Structures are given as structure tokens and as C-alpha cells.
Chains A and B, each alone.
Chain A
Amino acid sequence: MFDLLRARLRQGTPTSPFPGNDAEFPERFRGLPVVDSPAPMHPEPSDAAPSALMTVTLDGHPALDVGACLFSPDEATSGTAGTVRFTHDYRMASSTRAGLVSATGEVELAHALEARVRRLFGRSLRLRSVVAGSCGGCEAELIALGNVVFDLARFGVQFVASPRHADGIVITGAVNHNMRAALEKVYDAMPAPRIVIAVGACAISGGPFRGSPEVAGGVPPGLAVDLYVPGCPPHPLTLLDGLLRLLDRLPAERTRATPFTL
């Protein structure tokens, strides 16, 4: 008993002060990718570089698709969209698929749910997780959201055991053939209004498995997605930031000036 109390005292309060103050990441952390220089006049299309994976065409010009980014150092190269560099910015969740695509790597950050739905879910959001053709990485970070450091429950967000109890569904994985039916059944079992959150490069674009005949390459168009969270996998703070934006729960400004370190 005394050992237990001693251990408890020693552990202190490990909960991160997010979102009250901001996080400082280690030097090598790869957050939001940006394009440093405009594309050269005669871009050399290098299909071999993985940055080609996240290069798409926007209005006839090469652009960066953060939703397809695997956040790998190999992608920080010169591709058709220019020179890609990773910043420390962990905020990159968007409300729309198009919001993840731009010439510079800029992301249109997620906006709050419409007022009626936000009134329902703003202080209590119950989510159901469906894993459909993933590596397990995104799920590990979703689980980490529940630990004492990130402590998702303090925002009233909880993962529940049944779609019947859920207000929304969190989809991870590239949506493979073997989970397609289960995913649709879970969605149909949820009462409306319901929200859909696509977590990770796989759910958004197929991720590393894009092009495999076994996967659909992300959440099928039939499911209207309310929040896209890029990453491979997304950092827990990227997830938390996206969820709080969706619920309009982010403070307008940080209450404490010094960032905490991770």
C-alpha cells in the first residue's frame, strides 16, 4: 500500500499542458511538409522518389498532397513540386480532402462542425474505431491518446465498444477488400447525425499500400468524411489538435508562453 502511494507520488502529474501551451518537438521531428522553392522550369519527373507519391496536379501545376505524405525522410527531396522540407508544425488536420492539397504544402486547417451537430457533440463525443487494412501504427497512436499524457477523456471524447453507442467513426487503414463490408455495417449501425474521421495516410490516400489491388486506397467516396488527419502515423497531438478544432474547443491563444518538450 505504501509502495503504491510512494510510486503514485513519484509519478506526479504527467498530463501534458496541451492545449493550454504549445509543444516543442525534437529537432528531427517531421511535421507538416512544405515546398521551399518553386518547381524548376524543366522539372525532372522522378517517379522513383517517394515524393512523387504526394505530388499531384492542381490547376495544371504540380502540387503537394499532404494526405498522401508518408513523412519519410526520403520524401524530403527535389521532386516535380519543388524541394520538400519537413517543418515542426504538427497541425495539419483538415475538414476537406482538397484542404490537404496546395502548391506550397499549406493545409487549410479543420473548421468546427456546424452549430447543431457541435451542440450535440461539443462536450461529449463518442467514437467507434474501425481498422481496415492498416499496419497497426495509427491504432497505436489512437490508443496513446488515452494514456495519462494526452488524456483524451478530459475533453469529453471517448472510444466506445459499439457503433450503436457512437456519434462518429474513426477509420484507419487503406480500406481493404476484407474489411469493406464490416466498415459499411458499422457505419450503417450508427445513429444519425454521425461524423466520419479518416486517420492516417492510408485512410486518406492508401498510404504505403496505394496501388495494391487488395486495397481501395482510402475511405470510399460513399462515406462523407468530416475530418482528415494526415500522418504515418499522425502524432497524438496532430490527432488531438484536429479533434479539438472539429469541436471548436481549442483556446484562441495559448495561456502559457513556454512550450513543453516531448
Chain B
Amino acid sequence: MSIMGEVELRNRRAVPLRSLPREPVDHFRGSVVEAVTGGLRIVSLFGLPEEGEMTRLVAILADDARGELGATTTLVRDRYPSLTPDCPQAHAFEREIAEQCAVSPVGHPWLKPLRRHLPDHRAERRSNVVLDPQAYPFFRIEGEDVHEVAVGPVHAGIIEPGHFRIQAHGEDVLFLEIVLGYQHRGVERLLETVDAVRAPLIAESIAGDTVIGHGGAYCGAIEALARSRKSPRAQSIRGIALELERLANHIGDLGAIAGDVAYQPAAAFFGRMRGECLNLLMTLSGNRFGRGLVRPGGVAFDLPPAMADAMRAKLEALREELEPVAGLMFQTASVQARLEDVGVVSREQCDALGLVGPVVRARDIARDVRQDHPYGIFRFAHIPVSTAWAGDVHARALVRWLEIRRSLEFVLDQLAALPRGEERVSVRALQPGELVIAMEEGWRGEIAHIVITDERGAIRRHKVTDPSFHNWAAVAAALPGNQISDFPLCNKSFNLSYAGHDL
């Protein structure tokens, strides 16, 4: 396969940009489609403005089984043949390219605005707009007794904004269309223009519940471009923080799922225990979400032995409290009945849509960046991948519970034997003309930051792909066939980020 092997691309290893394949557009399309048909997965697909009117399309693919990454590129002006008809994984990426770069994927079956903004990554000498941000044609089903339900962008609770358009026949959902972009803040452009001190603060604000995940991927990219090696101690502290973030969110999700089926005891107990994990992050970093901890070169705060002992004691107490509450939730028949066979994602959908994180692990696909493309502490300390098989709300809840147990053990192990080293080393200038792919297994799944430097070592392109970008398609795919009243439960079982998608 031409995509793999010519340059050795791996997670967090920077390579010269010019070493990537440069193919004519038809070959580019063929390579990507062939690779995905052969079992590879699109990590990201984006446009890089070049000189004049030209835009370079860059495709990053992952071979999870072999722990390798591949890439190919092509140069286009205003249009290119869309990949989506042969490769549904490209669907949202191509809408993003059309919107950001004003390059048209000809033959795209669903070419609509993605976030509804004017192009902000357009080649210098182009002034076109491919997608009018004001024009959004909705899909409609016509027919007797078919009705439409519109929800959002302002929701009934404290929820990020998004618009859901449901075509229903009675209570049965026929089709769900999800319109996002309401949280669009121009994150990529900011990351490409602000100075190196402000940038980590923006990376931490891509998704406020994934501060460590995005902070870690951002720093991983910068460290690779600067050839900076952080100490084993810093790697371990980052790993602890990442797993605490996973613990907090997974525990909170179990509580929210319990709340959505009106099982109040588990909702209340899990809700409190989520807070305990956030408070541990606050002990470590001074902020309940871990803001300020992960910085290029390591971590801004050490984890001294007395703090490690105190955290261990709290986590051991938490473990004792979690087990009986999880027992309540997973052994109460009336709860089980509400979770099983609801919002099923099929294995074919996982593969076709290139889904990531607990969503695919709940369908027996052991995909996990920590295992497949190990980095940092996860090269030395392995967390077994947790899977379930049914792909429904119950399986997604179960995978979270299994991951809670394993993350807890990992954090306890790390706290017991923190390696030595400086918490933070200085970071040199970035190498010019390079590309790096930094992936991190956030609690929602694969986070990818792809950073490209210019000939002076300044950041030229910063592409962010949040796991929600891949997985929103799964929500739309899982709902048809369910009842409208199960929409909140279904949505909660994915708990995707609007901010992470919208950037």
C-alpha cells in the first residue's frame, strides 16, 4: 500500500512535511479508499492552504492492528472528486474541508454546512465560498402521519447547544439529523495565531471536560516538533491525570444514565463520586478539571509523596464505595430493561463510520490509542482494553464501568511507585517544515492534534480532531428504530462533546 511505509509515521513522531507522498488527486483518492477498504481508519482529513489558489489535502490513516500511521497528500484548486461515496468515514471531514478551505468535494452525497462559518483556512488567492453558512437544507420525510420534532439549540437542561431534527412516525423515529456548529469559536485559527504561552490555555478549552486529554495531545505535538523529552515522572503524572479525568467523566456518565431512566439512588451517588475525582484533580493541579497541569515539557506541578499517599487513601475509599453502587445499577432488573436493546450501533456502522472510543469498545472492537499507538507512560504500564459486545446503551454503560475499575487500578499503581525525574524540562524551538500527529485516548476516545510548521518553525496548521467529530454520526445512526422518548437516554449514553466537535 502506498499510504503506509514510505515514511515511518507513528504517534507523536514528527516527520518532514515534504517526505509525505504527493499524489495526483485520482491516485490520492484511490489510495485512501483502498486503505480504508483494507481495514485502515481515517484519523483526520483536512486542507492545508498552499501558495496562490492551491490547497493541499492531507489524509492521515491509522493501522490500529500494527500500531502504524500512514499519510498521503494531493494538491487541489477549487474541487476534487469526493471520497465519501466510496468511503463514508470521510463524510464529515469533506464537509469540513468545503467549509474551511472553500474546496468542493464533487459528488459528496450530503454536502451541507458543518459548523456554519465562513472559510478560515482558504488559500491566499481564493475568495470563494462553497457552503453558504446561512443556507441549511434539512432532510425531510413526507407521508401520512409522518411528523417532525425539532430540539435545540437551546435545550431543556444545562446542555451545550446543538439542533436535532427528528422525522417520526408516531413515537417511532425514522430519521435523526444533527446540526452542530453552535459552539464554534474558531479554535484552530486561534491555535495557529496566538503565542506559545496562550496556546495551551486554548487547547485546554477545546472541550472543558477533556482538559487533560486535549492538553496532552497538544503538548505531545509540540514536544515532538521540539525534540523535547519529558521525564518518566512527568509522563506518569500525565497518565494519572488522564485516568482521573476518565474516572470523573465515566462515573458522571453512569450517574447521568441512571438519572435518565429515573434510577435516583445511583444518579445521586455517582454524581457525588464524580466530584471526588474532580477534587483529586484539584489537589494535583489547583483546578477541578486539571487546568494548568499539562504543559509543553512535562507538567506544571509535581506530585510529592505525601500527596500521593493522600490520593491513594481517597481512591481506595472510592473503590470501596463504587462497587456497591455499580452493583445496584447493573443488578436492578428495571434499570437493565431500560438500557438493553436501546440505541444499538452495529459493527458495520463502527467500521463504515470510523467510530472511536467506548462506543466501538461496546461493540467488541478493542480500539484504544493507549494500546494501539502507545505513548508516554502507556508504553510501560498497560491498561487492558475493556469491551462489551451488544453495542447498546447497556454495553456503553458497562464498558465505562469496566474502564473505571481498570483506570482506578492504574492510578493506584502509579501513585505507589512514581518514577523519578524533573516535572518539567524546557522546550526548544520547533523544527521547521515538519508534520506531527499526536493522538491521545481521551475518555471519549481518540483525540488527534496534527501540527504542521512552516519554514521558520512557526505553526502553519493546527488540525484538531476530537473523538466527537467521528462519533456524532453514531448518534444519528443509532436512533432510528427507537422511540422518541429514548432520545435523551441514547444521547447520554454517547455523551459527545459539542464544543469538541464545533471547535
Question: A residues within 8 Å of B by Cβ?
Answer: 3-4, 6-8, 10-11, 14, 25-26, 28-30, 47-50, 53, 70-74, 86, 128-144, 147-149, 159, 161-163, 173-174, 176-179, 182, 186, 207-209, 211-215, 232-233, 235, 262
| B269 touches A (CB below 8 Å) | yes
- Tell me which of A10, A14, A133, A147 contacts B183 (CB under 8 A): A133
Contact between B160 and A139, CB atoms less than 8 A apart: yes
> In the bound complex, do residue B324 and residue A134 qualify as a contact, i.e. CB atoms below 8 Å apart?
no
Bound together, the chains give a CA A129 to CA B283 distance in angstroms of 29
> Nearest 8 CB-CB pairs, A to B?
A137-B208, A135-B208, A28-B286, A161-B156, A214-B186, A212-B186, A136-B208, A147-B271
Which chain A residues lie closer than 8 Å to B185 at the CB level?
Answer: 133, 174, 176, 209, 212, 214-215
Residues of B within 8 A of A (CB): 115-117, 120, 153-154, 156-161, 181-187, 189-190, 194-198, 200-202, 204-209, 211, 265, 268-269, 271-272, 274-275, 278-279, 282-289, 291-292, 295, 300-301, 321, 324-325, 327-328, 331, 497-500
- Asked if residues A29 and B282 are in contact (CB atoms below 8 Å), the reply is yes
Whether A179 pairs with B153 at a CB distance below 8 angstroms is yes
Contact check, B271 vs A137: say whether CB atoms are below 8 A apart: no
Q: List 19 A-B contacts (CB under 8 A).
A: A4-B265, A6-B324, A7-B269, A8-B265, A25-B282, A28-B283, A28-B284, A30-B286, A74-B295, A130-B154, A131-B158, A135-B206, A144-B275, A147-B271, A159-B158, A163-B154, A179-B161, A208-B204, A214-B184
* Distance (whole angstroms) from the CB of A169 to the closest CB of chain B: 10
Q: Across the interface, which residues of B come within 8 angstroms of A14, CB to CB?
A: 272
Residues in B whose Cβ lies below 8 Å from that of A49: 197
Q: Of the candidates B189, B288, B321, B497, which one forms a contact with A141 in the assembled complex, judged by CB atoms under 8 Å apart?
A: B288
Q: Is the CB of A136 within 8 A of B157?
A: no
Q: In the bound complex, what is the Cα–Cα distance between A129 and B154 (angstroms)?
A: 8
- Give chain A residues whose Cβ lies under 8 Å from the Cβ of B300: 73-74
Are A7 and B205 interface neighbours, CB within 8 A? no
Residues on the A chain within 8 Å of B207, using CB = 135-136
Residues of A within 8 A of B499 (CB): 134-136
Across the interface, name the chain B residue whose C-beta is closest to A7: B324
Provide the residues of chain A in CB contact with B327, threshold 8 Å: 3
Residues of A within 8 A of B265 (CB): 4, 7-8
A129 and B158 contact, CB distance less than 8 A: yes
Q: Complex Cα distance A3/B326, Å?
A: 11
**B-chain residues with CB within 8 Å of residue A73 when the two chains form the complex:** 286, 292, 300-301
**Residues A147 and B272 in contact, CB atoms below 8 Å apart:** yes
Residues of A within 8 A of B157 (CB): 129, 143, 159, 161
Q: Given A50-B197, A53-B198, is A137 in contact with B205 using a C-beta cutoff of 8 Å?
A: yes
A178 and B497 contact, CB distance less than 8 A? no
A178 and B208: CB pair below 8 A? no
Q: A143 to B491, alpha carbons, bound, how many Å?
A: 17
Shortest beta-carbon distance, A28 to chain B, in Å? Answer: 4
Rounded to whole angstroms, the CA-CA distance of A10 and B269 in the bound complex is 10
Closest to B163 in A: A182
Bound-state CA distance A136–B202 (Å) is 13
- Residue with the highest number of chain A CB atoms closer than 10 Å, among B185, B205, B282: B185
A253–B157 CA distance with the chains assembled, in angstroms: 34
B275 to chain A: which residues have CB within 8 Å?
Answer: 144, 147, 149
Partner of B190, one of A26, A161, A212: A212
Q: Give A147 Cβ to nearest chain B Cβ, in Å.
A: 4
A7-B324, A178-B116 are contacts. A131–B159 as well, Cβ < 8 Å?
yes
Apart from A30-B287, A73-B292, 20 more pairs, CB < 8 Å: A7-B265, A7-B269, A28-B282, A28-B285, A50-B198, A71-B287, A72-B291, A74-B295, A131-B160, A134-B499, A140-B209, A147-B271, A148-B272, A159-B158, A161-B157, A177-B184, A209-B187, A209-B205, A212-B187, A213-B120
Interface residues of B, dominant DSSP = loop
Q: Which residues of B contact A182 (CB under 8 A)?
A: 153-154, 161, 182
Distance in angstroms from A12 CB to nearest chain B CB is 10
A71 / chain B contacts, CB cutoff of 8 Å:
287, 291-292
Distance (whole angstroms) from the CB of A18 to the closest CB of chain B: 14
Alpha-carbon distance A240/B181, docked complex (angstroms): 31
Cα(A48)–Cα(B287), bound, Å: 23
Contact check, A136 vs B209: say whether CB atoms are below 8 A apart.
yes
One of A148, A162, A173 near B268 (C-beta < 8 A): A148
Q: Which residues of B contact A213 (CB under 8 A)?
A: 120, 186, 189
Smallest distance from the beta carbon of A127 to chain B beta carbons, Å? 9
Q: CB distance B324 to A10 under 8 Å? A: yes
Q: A176 to B328, alpha carbons, bound, how many Å? A: 43
CB pair B272 A11 closer than 8 Å: yes
Which residues of A are found within 8 Å of B202, using beta-carbon distances?
208-209
A76–B283 Cα distance when bound, in Å, is 18
Most B-side CB within 10 Å, residue of A10, A131, A133, A143: A131
Establish whether residues B197 and A215, one from each chain, have CB atoms under 8 Å apart when the complex forms: no
Please give, as numbers and ranges, the residues of chain B lying within 8 Å of A148 by CB-CB distance: 268, 271-272
Q: Known: A4-B328, A136-B208. Is A186-B154 also a contact (CB below 8 A)? A: yes
What CA separation (Å) do A2 and B5 show in the bound complex?
60
| A140–B292 CB distance below 8 A | no
Report which of A70, A132, A159 forms a contact with B201, defined as CB distance below 8 A. A70
**CB atoms of A262 and B159 under 8 A apart:** no
A11 touches B269 (CB 8 A): yes
| Alpha-carbon distance between A29 and B280 when the two chains are bound, in angstroms | 11
Closest-by-CB residue of A relative to B153 is A182
In Å, the complex CA distance between A212 and B160 comes to: 20
Output the nearest chain A residue to B332 by Cβ-Cβ distance.
A4
Chain A residues near B116 (CB-CB < 8 A): 178
Query: Smallest Cβ distance from B263 to chain A, in angstroms?
Result: 10
State A173–B161 Cα separation when bound (angstroms).
Answer: 11
Taking a contact as CB atoms under 8 Å apart, the answer to whether B182 and A28 are in contact is no
- Say whether A208 contacts B189, CB under 8 Å: no
Question: A7-B328, A182-B154 in contact; A26/B160 too (CB < 8 A)?
Answer: no
Q: How far is the CA of A3 from the CA of B190 in the complex (A)?
A: 52
Q: Contacts A14-B272, A179-B161 known; A207 to B208 CB distance under 8 Å? A: no
Instruction: List residues of chain B with CB within 8 A of the CB of A134.
Output: 160, 183, 208, 499
**Which residues of B lie under 8 Å from residue A135 when comparing CB positions?**
205-208, 499
Given A130-B154, A136-B207, A209-B190 in contact, is the A177-B289 Cβ separation under 8 Å?
no
Tell me the complex Cα distance, A140–B160, Å: 10
Residues of B within 8 A of A72 (CB): 201, 291-292
In the complex, chain B residues whose CB is within 8 Å of the CB of A149: 272, 275
Closest to B211 in A: A137
The one of B161, B206, B274, B289 in contact with A132, judged by C-beta atoms closer than 8 angstroms, is B161
| B325 contact set on A, CB distance < 8 A | 7
Contacts of A207 in B (CB 8 A): 205
Please measure, in the bound complex, the distance between the C-alpha atom of A230 and the C-alpha atom of B328, giving whole angstroms: 39
Residues of B within 8 A of A11 (CB): 268-269, 272, 321
* Alpha-carbon distance A144/B208, docked complex (angstroms): 14
